[in-house]
Structure formats: C-alpha cells, structure tokens
Amino acid sequence: MSHRCGTVALVGRPNTGKSSLLNRLVGEKLSIVSERPQTTRHLITGILTRPDCQYVFIDSPGNPPRLKSVLHKALNRRVGEAASQADVVLFVVEALRFGPEDHAALGRIPAGQHVVAVVNKIDMVRRRSDLIPFLERLSKTREFSALVPVSAKTGKNMPELLRVIAGALPEGPAAYPVDQLTDRDERFFASEALREKLFETLGEELPYRCEVAIDSFKEEGRLRRIEATILVERDSQKAIILGKGGERLKAMATAARKDLERLFEGKVYLGVWVKVRRAWTDDARVLRQLGYE
C-alpha cells in the first residue's frame, strides 16, 4: 500500500475532549486539558508517524458562538482556517449530547470538507443501546464520511479511528521527520503548562481573564531557566492569584515546573510574576504580542 500523509483538524464545541483526544492519538501530553470549557486558545499540532501514514493533527479552541472580544474573534477565525485547510476534519461531540453549540460548531466547517464525526466519552454511557439512536440522529445532521464512537480517557476505538482517518488522507511522503511530535517550541509549552494550572486552581471567571507570557527562556547547561508573567485585568484578580503570602502562586508554579521537567526530561527553574494589564482580551496590541493576531 502507498504511503499517506495529511492534516487532521479537531473541531467542536468547548469541552468535548478535543485536546484529550489529540494527546491520546499522539501518545504525549501536548495540549492542556481542564474540566472547564474554552481551555484551548491556540492551534496545536501533534504529529503521529506510522510506517504507512503520517497524521498531522491540529487541536483547536472550542469556541461558543456570540462571543465578542477581540480575542474570541481571533480564535474563531483560526478555527475556521484550520477546518477549511485540513485534509480531514474530526468533528468531536460528547456521547448522547448534541445541542445548539455543537450545531453551530458543525456549521462553521466549510461545505465539501471531509468530516468524520467522533463521538467521545463513550466510557460515560451506561447503556450501550442509548448510543445507537444518538448515532442515527447525528448522522442526519450532515454528510459524514464516518461516525466513530471513542473514549479519549480509556483509549477505546483509537485504532479504528486512525484507520478511518488514514483512508481519507491523500497519498504522499511524510511532511515531518519521523521523530517530530509537534511544531510548537518549548517556550510555548512552558506558558501552556502554567495556564493549565490557572484553569485547575482558580474559580469561576478568573482563568478566562488571565494569560501567560514568557519573558525569557534560557538553557544553562542542562537547566532551563524560564521567567514568566501572568497577566490579569484587575488588582483584585492579582491578589487572588497570589493567595495568602503568595502561597497559591507558588503552588501553581511548582506544579507547572514539575510538568515541564517531565516533558523536557530535564531540570527547570520557573520564576513567575503577576501583572495587571487592563482589558487585555480586547487590546489588539497585547494580543499580538501574545501571538493571537
């Protein structure tokens, strides 16, 4: 059989498990995951190379409709680009749940695209017989090339999903070296690791009002020395992030450092500051500096 290679965009409403799925498919934790919607804010490439096929997966932010900040408009535009440029689109939904936000996300995939419906979180389905009518209803919403029930959590049906995708990818040689996992650099993963801890630790709206910037990233022998800033919009938010005596910030920085030491397989120093930058989600200049525009 001839070799295949192509791009595969993961799209869908927030929280359906796109990032978990990317990590599971690639076998490495590249994309941050949290219980809360709108965790992902970037397009993240994860590459899986098999003898007969190279899959270039692209995780995308799950953006609900009707959001108006400059940040959300930029994110929506990126998702649209990823969906229209990919060879195959994986439309990710949660098993037994298909609502207006799923419908809107599906509507943003250009007509004529090759779309595979991925029904995730089937480990949560108690009665298997409930799945069949759901799949039937889903199949009526669009012309899908396949519907594949999976679980990113348990890994169920991943071989089947990979087989279906490979069948839809164009023939061609590998686009990336066989040992390359992503096109993102270590600096990017450093900011994402810290952002994940903000999502895990902080309540309510606060994670959505925060962003992480890496001020410097130096390799000193086997040590990576990283200086980062957490941007927030108000002084009161800064106080919450710091916590009593700075304890909360310290705990988040320590957790992020441990993740990075695992990912980089080496020692990391991570220094973190918190700065107030009013209305950064609507400030085109700040967003450009953060790589959103």
Ligand X SMILES: Nc1nc2c(ncn2[C@@H]2O[C@H](COP(=O)(O)OP(=O)(O)OP(=O)(O)O)[C@@H](O)[C@H]2O)c(=O)[nH]1
Where do contacts with ligand X occur on this chain (CB under 6 A)? 14-20, 33-35, 37-40, 61-62, 120-121, 123-124, 151-153
Query: 117 near 138, Cβ under 8 Å?
Result: yes
* Residue (123 or 247) nearer to ligand X, CB: 123
* Residue (4 or 121) nearer to ligand X, CB: 121
Count of positions on this chain that bind Mg ion (CB under 5 A): 4
Residue 149 contact among ligand X, Mg ion, none, beta carbon within 5 to 8 Å by kind: none
Give the DSSP letter of residue 124: G
Query: 46 near 57, Cβ under 8 Å?
Result: yes
Give how far the C-alpha of residue 242 lies from the chain's centroid of Cα atoms, to the nearest Å.
26
* Residue the block writes with tokens 């030491």: 261
Residue 65 contact among Mg ion, ligand X, none, beta carbon within 5 to 8 Å by kind: none
Edge to edge, what strands does the sheet with 267-276 contain?
211-220, 223-232, 267-276
19 binds Mg ion (CB under 5 A): yes
Q: Interface mask (CB under 5 A) for Mg ion, residues 28-67, using x and -?
A: -----------xx---------------------------
* Separation between Cα atoms, residue 178 and residue 197, nearest integer Å: 31
Pair of tokens at residue 273:
């500051």
* Residue (202 or 249) nearer to ligand X, CB: 202
* Residue (6 or 46) nearer to Mg ion, CB: 46
HSE-up (13 A, CA, CB side) for residue 291: 13
191 binds Mg ion (CB under 5 A): no
Give how far the C-alpha of residue 219 lies from the chain's centroid of Cα atoms, to the nearest Å.
27
15 binds Mg ion (CB under 5 A): no
State the CB neighbour count (10 A cutoff) for residue 226.
25
**Listed ranges 18-26, 71-79, 125-133, 183-191: which one lies at the site for Mg ion (CB under 5 A):** 18-26
* Residue (196 or 233) nearer to Mg ion, CB: 196
Residues making contact with Mg ion (CB under 5 A): 18-19, 39-40
